[in-house]
Amino acid sequence: GIQVEQSPPDLILQEGANSTLRCNFSDSVNNLQWFHQNPWGQLINLFYIPSGTKQNGRLSATTVATERYSLLYISSSQTTDSGVYFCAVEGAGGTSYGKLTFGQGTILTVHP
Amino acid sequence: DTGVSQDPRHKITKRGQNVTFRCDPISEHNRLYWYRQTLGQGPEFLTYFQNEAQLEKSRLLSDRFSAERPKGSFSTLEIQRTEQGDSAMYLCASSILPVGDEQFFGPGTRLTVL
């Protein structure tokens, strides 16, 4: 099945700093989503972005499907941005078709 | 639109007992998914339904696990003879379209097997 790698695994920032999270995937995708998992375990949808660029407030994301990677940008980070960020993809064929495969996540800690 | 709901939110059980979880998807979402997440890992796919039909089951879903979606609306996930290794967060998600569509997740059911 499709493989998903996220980097870095851990990221520690001071409030106000900018950061970039990366997601590499091994095959063509029908779907790519970025999630933020809060301390209670809820997965919050950040972006649905199988290709192109989107922005939502301080967050933006870019997926270059032909090169099989996606980037999540967080600007002017706040302590409430802390948590685990997951990239998840639905492969375009084979055993990955029709369901999401998640990366291992990036643990973000923002200090005041 | 009330979002995906799951019940219970937490379940503590003794090894060997049976447990059942419920998921209510977003209304009019035809596709319903179950995922499992263990500590420090990303969620892993277990199974999914298109309306009431169960279309695929992961090899993670042993014979002790069974899932149903009897009327194409809510779904249940039952684990028989629970083992300590079943301790995890069980997540439900739904989407409108079967392929390439955005999935929305519920709050999860955290299972602890003593």
Digit-coded pLDDT (tens) for B47-83: 999 999 998 889 888 999 999 999 889 999 999 999 9
Question: How many CB pairs lie under 8 A apart between chains A and B?
Answer: 58
Q: Which residues contact B24 (CB under 8 A, 6 or more apart)?
A: B4, B5, B6, B7, B73, B74
Residue of B nearest to A50 (CA): B100
**Residue with the two structure tokens 């060997």:** B16
Cβ–Cβ contact A48 with B under 8 A: yes
CB contact under 8 A, A98 and B98: yes
A71 near B CB under 8 A: no
- Using a CB-CB distance cutoff of 8 angstroms, which residues of chain A are in contact with residue B108? 41-42
Examine the pLDDT at B13 and tell me if it is beyond 90: yes
**B contacts of A33 (beta carbons < 8 Å):** 102-103
Residue A56: Cβ within 10 Å count: 9
Cβ contact, residue pair B99, A98, below 8 Å? yes
- Conformation bin of residue B98: beta by default, left when phi > 0, alpha when psi is -120 to 50: alpha
Minimal Cβ distance to B56: which of A43, A98, A101: A98
Strand partners, A90: A31
**For A89-107, what is each residue's pLDDT tens digit?**
999 877 777 789 999 999 9
Contact B23, B109 (CB under 8 A): no
Residue contact B44–A102, C-beta within 8 A: yes
Q: Least CA distance to A100: which residue of chain B?
A: B45
Paired sense of beta strands A106-111 and A10-14, if any: parallel
Q: Which of A4, A43, A50 sits opposite B105 (nearest CB)?
A: A43
In this predicted structure, what is the pLDDT of residue B1? 56
* B25 part of contact set with chain A, CB < 8 Å: no
Beta bridge partners of B26: none
3-state secondary structure chain A: CCCEEEECCEEEEECCCCEEEEEEECCCEEEEEEEEECCCCCEEEEEECCCEEEEECCEEEEEEHHHCEEEEEECCCCHHHCEEEEEEEEECCHHHCCCCEECCCEEEEEEC
What is the number of residues in chain B? Answer: 114
Residues B77 and B86: beta-carbon distance below 8 Å: no
Q: What is the pLDDT of residues A44-103, one digit of tens each?
A: 999 999 999 999 999 999 999 999 999 999 999 999 999 999 999 999 877 777 789 999
